[in-house]
Amino acid sequence: MDRQILIAGFGGQGVMLMGQMLAYSAMKKDYNVSWMPSYGPEQRGGTANCGVVISEQPVGSPVVNEPTECVAMNLPSLEKFADTVVPGGCLLINSSLADADVNRDDITILRIPASEEAEQLGEVRVANMIMLGALSEATSLLSVEYLKDMLSEVLPERRHGLIPLNEKALDRGRELAQKQLAVK
């Protein structure tokens, strides 16, 4: 297995945490992992992204240029990265904030209204966990149940009160992905 996952969005959407959650969870399953943030000046007030590599082999470059899975949390990210997904790969779009057409018929595309769904759960900031639940379902990378177990290890102790909400968000993401995948 060699997965190259790119997660992109606005600063504040939790894209870095989402990547760390993936990397940490895969590390605990004894995969080789890396997490690498974009750290250019564009981060300040603009877009942020991180690349996660999960592999049975030692990780080469931790920079993800051609993702096998890409999560686009907003429109600029979708426009920038839709074309970089490798054929056969998977593109997850936060359709609440990015509804542009994507001219690719060689990849799986899931449109998850993550921000709206998160608001319905009462906290827009869990949009990232909704997307992570959907990613888990779409790629059978790491199960939602396993990711739930990891929450207490990844989130700092002062945030542990938010674990039930994050679990709900992961479940909701899985549900939404299941529905779309059933149609395909």
The reply to whether 124 sits near other proteins by the rule CB under 8 A is no
Decide whether 58 or 88 has the Cβ nearer to other proteins.
58
The reply to whether 15 sits near other proteins by the rule CB under 8 A is no
Select the span of 6-14, 31-39, 161-169, 171-179 touching other proteins (CB under 8 A). 31-39
**DSSP string for 150-175:** HHHHHS-GGGGGGHHHHHHHHHHHHH
Select the span of 21-29, 78-86, 107-115, 124-132 touching other proteins (CB under 8 A). 21-29
With 0-12 / 13-18 / 19 or more C-beta atoms within 10 angstroms meaning exposed / middle / buried, residue 164 is: exposed
Closest CA to 80 of 89, 180, 91: 91
Distance, CA of 60 to CA of 86 (rounded, Å): 18
The reply to whether 161 sits near other proteins by the rule CB under 8 A is no
| The only residue of 10, 62, 104, 123 in contact with other proteins, by rule CB under 8 A | 62
Return phi, psi of residue 48, to 5°.
-135, 145
Please report, as ranges, the residues that interact with other proteins according to CB under 8 A. 20, 23-24, 27, 32-37, 39-41, 57-63, 65
